[in-house]
Chains A and B, each alone.
Chain A
Amino acid sequence: MFLFILISGCRQEPAGNGNQAVTAISDEPAYGDALVAGSIGEPSILIPMLAGDSASHDVAGLIFNGLVKYHTDLSVIGDLAESWDISADGLVITFHLRKGVKWFDGVEFTAEDIMFGYKTIIDEKTPTAYQEDYLQVEKAEVPDPHTFRVTYRKPFAPALTSWGSLVVLPKHLLEGRDITKTDFGRNPVGLGRYKLRNWTPGQEVILESNRDYFQGRPYIDRYIYRIIPDPATMFLELKAGGIDLMGLTPIQYTKQTDTRHFMENFRKFRYPVFAYTYLGFNLRHPFFKDKRVRQAIACAIDKKEIVDVVLFGLGKPATGPYVPDTWPYNPNVRTCGYDLGKAKELLNLAGWADRDGDGILEKDGSPFAFTILTNMGNSLRMNTATIIQRRLAKIGIKVDIRVLEWSTFINEFIDKRRFQAVILGWNIGLDPDQYDIWHSGKTKEKEFNFVGYNNPEVDELLEKGRRTFDMEERKKAYFRIQEILAEELPYIFLYVPDATPIIHVRFRGIKPSPIGISYNLERWYVPKALQRHAAMQP
């Protein structure tokens, strides 16, 4: 599931002076050493189609490859597939697979393995959450061992990238067995950059490099995934040298890693995450039915202030549901900016006025007071809510904040539509299709248009965008959607946060790109003189 981990628009922080001194010794790529990454969660199962948590997908992503992947410029390129053809009507995709790729046990990878994976994921009995994209397939065929062809009922643009690692499984090992009952999920045989060597539950997952990897043997011999549930402990481990790589919080990035020790021993990176945080309105609520009220609230919120205060500047104000500087992002949408005068004017037009002089607006006798809900454990969202509360008080709107445990929040409030406004976030894939979030047909319980947005033009554009493979056509549709969303504001798009990983300075070959840093992990290396961990026992 690369959708969830890939990241874009990299920027690299200058490393400390110590770094240059070290560079002078020798910078030759060399095999060896180990990279220790810290993780709050432990993987559960290393079969991508059965996994739900990000830790499982992170580790499984090192063990399995997909037919296609994203290039650093966000275009789709071949991975296990060398190339592919899409028929003129967009219904048939034919993948031409790379030859000579071997599973860890030496058996050759063929189109039959993809066929097996596809059949498994659409099987009734497989407990997977990802079969939806594959149910759109009308027919799958294997014309020869290195060709895989799928035919769709309707053209489906997100289809191409669905042929990632979710459906790559070794048929010769799993055929005729129930994958939920085998130990394959804890002892997988893949074909990727790393293979599982040892897994100590609750402590660590040790992966060793696949010397026969089809893109060349990775330089770093071992990738160790250390499980440390407490984020504060993890940061102390980083400081003490117990881990080499972790994601920092904004305050750790800007303040706590500002010391000489960190400048000399670590490198920090920074790039936008494919995600955004928003203030969503329940559009069925009488207050928020009126577009002018939503626009007024948008004018009263200073997004720049939220980014500066909550994220310590590590992010960008959002204007729509896409990440700035990616191809679906429309840079020219009209936003209000921070304009209190305009906010007051819009509220007046909508009939809201402070008639009794208590500082709170009224209309038809009811004061403008509402509650923002958000989930517990996310201090960024809580702080955002507090800033919005203060800003809205300035235009005479009283805001209460309620923070709820995640499951309660989703099951009792979001699913039952018992909210006035929420602060939440979406992780977005690299494909711009957001049918499930904005389409008016997706408002039933448990569906994702929970704000109840309904706009026939947007519905049509969403349909158009997912039914064509023509980039220009898609771009046009999504640009227009962003203009409409910016005008109608079912959400107020607040910010796109930055990912802020930190890594020990001895690792070289890291090339930041719009999709993050980990895409070329197999080309990272540690110069011989700087290697810290002894060679691996065979």
Chain B
Amino acid sequence: MISFLAKRLLEMIPTLLGITILSFLIIHLAPGKPTDVLTEMNPKITPEARERLEKYYGLDKPLYVQYGLWLKRIVKFDFGESFSTDRRPVIAKIWDTKQPLMDRRLFITIVINALSMLLIFLIAIPIGVFSATHQDSFADKVTTVTVFIGFAAPAFWLALLLMMLFGIQLGWLPISGLKSMDYDTLSFSGKVWDRAGHLILPVFISSFGGLAGLSRFMRGSMLEVIRQDYITAARAKGLREKEVVYRHALRNALLPIITLLGLAVPGLIGGSVIFENIFGIPGMGQLFYMSVMTRDYPLVMGILTIGAFLTLIGNLLADIGYMLADPRIRAK
């Protein structure tokens, strides 16, 4: 077990390196430079001033030198300084220790994603089981159509419709942001409720699209297990259907789901870019979008590296989870 883990951790290093090289190349190949915000279409800028700015950011050096310099810093866990005009350290933008924990970008994104992942599992697994045990019934077809509508509906469109319904027509929920204007004057429970209210729509939107994939997967996995001989044996033994399904079938059908958990991380990070912008949530996704738009290379690289690292960790956790859950794999 230990040697397996060590091996997996070591394997992560070249993977991570490969990811950073690719990311670095792609973002530098995109037209535009971080100095554009100061120089683009600004008649007051002279060629000398442009050169001076590029030199200031080290953009005059060849690409491999720039990558080398970046890598040298990154092994010391130094993500460097942002190229935006404020020149703050990248790490301070992602994880600002001057802000309370709940206002740090990485924390916000992780919390919302964890909540929506939880919601996806809580809803999708029962739907999948239900669909499998009531295969081809009318109810199965209704749930299938519903989750596929969720899968197909554009998140930004659905978000705006819900904002109009709950934020304006009914006035139940806040429209955007993470907290209300009068947050500081609220009591403790008021603060908790305020935060929770702001999270309802974003968490719902970010999980709605994920329901289809997981519930269909669960349905397929369940159908496969139900046809196995041991289920027939359990039924033959005279066990009640409930026990057959939930004790014997479900446990085995859940195994492949663990793999999906690890694979879901990059998709969730990508989804954050969209819903964080719509809801005005100051998380990593929004920061990533802004940094790409301004070609803020160190910040883009910092976020991609953290995202890649989280993905690899997710995969590793999935492997470990698999080992814990399935004795057959442990034995190997």
Contact = CB atoms under 8 A, between A and B. Distances in A.
B176 A228 contact: yes
A132 B50 CA distance: 11
B277 A229 contact: yes
Interface string B272-304: 000001111111001101100001000000000
B52 interface: yes
B137 interface: no
Contacts of B286: 202, 229
Contacts of B283: 202
Nearest to B100: A200
Nearest to A47: B85
B41 to A, nearest CB: 7
- In order of increasing CB-CB distance, the 4 nearest A-B pairs are A202-B282, A407-B32, A436-B43, A129-B38
A180 interface: yes
Contacts of B43: 434, 436-437, 448
Given A202-B287, A230-B156, 8 more contacts: A36-B181, A52-B85, A124-B52, A127-B57, A132-B44, A229-B290, A240-B175, A412-B31
A228 B52 CA distance: 34
A239 B168 contact: yes
B93 to A, nearest CB: 7
Interface in B54-93: 56-57, 84-88, 93
A131 interface: yes
Interface of A: 34, 36, 42, 44-45, 50-53, 56, 124, 127-133, 180-181, 185-186, 200-204, 224, 226-230, 232-233, 236-237, 239-240, 242, 405-408, 410-412, 426, 434, 436-437, 444, 446-448, 533-534
Given A408-B32, A437-B43, A533-B181, A201 B175 contact: no
Contact of B37 (A53, A408, A534): A53
Nearest to A42: B290
Interface residues of B, number: 59
Nearest to A200: B103
Given A44-B86, A45-B86, A129 B44 contact: yes
A52 B93 contact: no
Contacts of A534: 182, 185
B175 A203 contact: no
Nearest to A202: B282
B152 interface: no
A444 B48 CA distance: 13
B45 interface: yes
12 contacts: A53-B37, A130-B44, A132-B44, A133-B44, A201-B96, A201-B282, A229-B286, A229-B290, A232-B278, A236-B175, A407-B31, A436-B43
A180 B89 CA distance: 12
Interface string B143-183: 00000000000001000100110011001001111110110
B167 A240 contact: yes
B47 interface: yes
Nearest to B39: A129
B35 to A, nearest CB: 8
Nearest to A409: B31
Contacts of A447: 47
Contact of B175 (A51, A233, A407): A233
Given A124-B52, A534-B185, A132 B46 contact: yes
B105 interface: yes
A226 B86 contact: no
Contacts of B282: 200-203, 227
A185 B279 CA distance: 27
Contacts of A42: 290
B47 A202 contact: no
A50 B85 contact: yes
Contacts of B40: 410
A279 B29 CA distance: 30
A34 B277 CA distance: 25
B247 to A, nearest CB: 47
A44 B49 contact: no
Contacts of A237: 175-176
B86 A224 contact: no
B295 to A, nearest CB: 7
Contacts of B167: 236, 240
Contacts of B287: 202
Contacts of B49: 129, 131-132
Contacts of A203: 103, 177-179, 280, 282
A341 B88 CA distance: 61
B189 interface: no
Contacts of A407: 30-32, 36, 295
Most buried by A among B40, B53, B96, B283: B40
B42 interface: yes
Given A186-B86, A242-B175, A407-B31, A202 B105 contact: yes
Given A230-B277, A446-B47, A408 B31 contact: yes
Most buried by B among A44, A436, A444: A44
Contact of A236 (B163, B178, B277, B281): B163
A410 B37 CA distance: 12
